[in-house]
């Protein structure tokens, strides 16, 4: 049946109610055609009173007519007309008002309401009433009454006429109920449409506000990044001067042979503080540039990224005799520099916070679920106290003041993962080691890949 429905329905403009009507109408066509064809052996192929084979072909032709016109009103009323005139002819030839076939005329009314509309139901109900009145007056004629009674002897015609009036009243009542229900549903629908229109306008207004706020935020971020570049340049210039002149002073003192340990110590303090401040400025600038779109998204083999980071940290790893274990990693559409920065920070932290009583072991792995890629860097270092784990991703937070660094590395890693629609978490037991897990949203990665593919195809 589904194949037949799909064959008949070509238009995509039908709503759910109209689709239901079409399915019921097609089912009626098939049932009526099958019924007529099944009765042909009993009545003969050609029957002067009621040509069933012709009626069956008419029902099948209506299927093709609907496929061609896609008009529910036209085809449904033609179908109801065929049923009406066929049943009326049968009732006339099998006893008129006394015929059981005459009672099947009320199916026309029901069909009119089901596959047609309210107007169709009223018109065909009126037609049935007119036909019953006609049969009643014929039954008052002696000639026709005798002919009808010869075909079907039963109660007097007044009985059947009263039955007709009761059936008519029931149909009219059904019409009134349907009309009232239809009016109620239309009012409710209009009310909901009004509410939806108001909600849509409000949503559209909020969307415009968000769009404006997003544009303002982008402008603000661009200004902030530009400001960070300017401040970085302005601060680094005097620092370079201090570092340069500090070196000149140290060399001049050395040339003159004036070995003053206290002065040398002060000069070392200046050199160390200046270098540290220069690194802090560089870290702040890198942190501010994380969300910049300047870096290109390219197809990136994460295995290659990890190998390059390990090569960069080769000296530190050799000095600590670290044992590195690597899993298999995917190839994704990323900004390679950002991902390399995460692995470099996490692995260098593992080296920095190694346990003094055991060799350092670092295991780098990855896995996925249906929404994210996950990457893990696990070590057996000194671990992180439970009460400190919530704050390590904040900017300028250092758990060990005697260790190198500015306390901005993990904050940078978190910012990068959030840029990819992910997050970063730590699982650690103090004295046993730590595991840092960061995620990248697949939707974010795939969107960038699609964007790059579209840009490439347009070029």
Work out the angle between the directed axes of helices 118-140 and 106-115 (0-180°, nearest 10). Answer: 170
The pLDDT assigned to 367 comes to: 93
Q: Which of 50, 110, 36, 118 is nearest to 80 (CA)?
A: 110
Summarised one tens digit per residue, pLDDT across range 338-352 is 899 899 999 999 998
Its pTM stands at 0.46
Instruction: Look up residue 417 and give its two tokens.
Output: 């993962």
Instruction: Look up residue 118 and give its two tokens.
Output: 């309210």
pLDDT above 90 covers what percent of the chain? 14
CA distance 404 to 406: 7
> What CATH code is assigned to 298-458?
3.30.565.10
Is 383's pLDDT higher than 70?
Answer: yes
Summarised one tens digit per residue, pLDDT across range 188-245 is 877 887 888 888 888 888 888 888 887 777 777 666 666 666 666 666 677 777 777 7
Summarised one tens digit per residue, pLDDT across range 245-292 is 777 777 777 776 666 677 777 777 777 777 767 666 666 666 555 555
In the block, residue with structure tokens 């900004």: 335
Summarised one tens digit per residue, pLDDT across range 106-134 is 777 777 777 777 777 778 878 888 887 88
Work out the angle between the directed axes of helices 157-256 and 118-140 (0-180°, nearest 10). Answer: 170
Tell me the range of 95-104, 171-180, 435-444 where mean pLDDT is highest: 435-444
The pLDDT assigned to 424 comes to: 92
In the block, residue with structure tokens 């300017």: 230
Task: Give backbone dihedrals phi and psi of 369, rounded to 5 degrees, phi first.
Answer: -125, -165
Instruction: Provide DSSP, 91-141.
Output: HHHTTGGG-HHHHTTHHHHHHHHHHS-HHHHHHHHHHHHHHHHHHHHHHHS
The pLDDT assigned to 45 comes to: 46
Is 378's pLDDT higher than 90?
Answer: yes
Mean pLDDT, rounded, of the chain: 77
pLDDT above 70 covers what percent of the chain? 69
Is 105's pLDDT higher than 70?
Answer: yes
Please report, in angstroms and rounded to a whole number, the separation of the first and last CA atoms in the chain.
Answer: 49
Is 151's pLDDT higher than 60?
Answer: no
What are the structural domain ranges in the chain? 2-154, 205-288, 298-458
The pLDDT assigned to 303 comes to: 94
In the block, residue with structure tokens 């000069």: 267
Return the H-helix or E-strand segment holding 437: strand 433-441
């Amino acid at each position: 049946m589904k194949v037949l429905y799909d064959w008949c329905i070509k238009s995509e403009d039908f709503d759910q109610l109209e689709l239901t009507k079409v399915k019921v109408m097609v089912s009626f066509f098939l049932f009526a055609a099958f019924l007529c064809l099944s009765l042909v052996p009993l009545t003969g192929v050609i029957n002067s009173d009621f040509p069933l084979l012709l009626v069956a072909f008419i029902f099948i032709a209506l299927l093709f007519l609907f496929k061609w016109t896609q008009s529910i009103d036209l085809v449904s009323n033609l179908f109801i007309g065929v049923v009406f005139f066929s049943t009326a002819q049968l009732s006339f030839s099998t006893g008129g008002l006394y015929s059981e076939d005459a009672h099947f005329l009320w199916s026309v009314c029901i069909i009119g309401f089901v596959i047609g509309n309210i107007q169709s139901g009223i018109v065909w109900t009126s037609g049935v009433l007119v036909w019953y009145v006609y049969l009643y007056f014929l039954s008052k004629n002696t000639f026709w009454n005798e002919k009808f009674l010869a075909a079907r002897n039963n109660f007097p015609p007044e009985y059947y006429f009263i039955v007709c009036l009761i059936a008519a009243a029931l149909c009219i009542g059904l019409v009134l109920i349907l009309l009232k229900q239809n009016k109620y549903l239309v009012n409710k629908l209009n009310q909901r449409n009004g509410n939806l229109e108001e909600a849509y306008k409000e949503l559209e207004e909020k969307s415009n506000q968000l769009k404006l706020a997003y544009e303002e935020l982008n402008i603000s971020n661009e200004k902030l990044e530009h400001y960070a570049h300017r401040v970085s340049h302005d601060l680094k210039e005097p620092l370079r001067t201090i570092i340069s002149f500090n070196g000149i002073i140290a060399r001049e003192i050395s040339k003159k042979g004036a070995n003053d340990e206290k002065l040398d110590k002060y000069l070392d303090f200046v050199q160390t503080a200046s270098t540290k401040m220069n690194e802090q400025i560089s870290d702040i600038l890198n942190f501010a540039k994380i969300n910049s779109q300047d870096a290109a998204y390219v197809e990136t083999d994460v295995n290659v990224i990890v190998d390059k980071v390990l090569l960069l940290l080769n000296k530190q790893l050799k000095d600590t005799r670290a044992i590195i274990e690597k899993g298999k990693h995917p190839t994704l559409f990323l900004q390679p520099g950002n991902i390399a920065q995460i692995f470099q920070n996490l692995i260098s932290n593992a080296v920095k916070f190694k346990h003094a009583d055991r060799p350092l072991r670092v295991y780098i792995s990855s896995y996925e679920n249906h929404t994210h890629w996950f990457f893990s860097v696990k070590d057996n270092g000194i671990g992180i106290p439970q009460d400190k784990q919530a704050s390590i991703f904040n900017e300028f937070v250092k758990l060990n003041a005697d260790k190198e660094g500015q306390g901005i590395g993990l904050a940078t890693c978190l910012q990068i993962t959030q840029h990819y629609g992910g997050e970063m978490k730590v699982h650690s037991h103090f004295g046993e080691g730590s595991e840092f897990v960061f995620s990248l949203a697949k939707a974010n990665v795939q969107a960038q890949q699609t964007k790059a593919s579209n840009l490439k195809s347009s070029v």
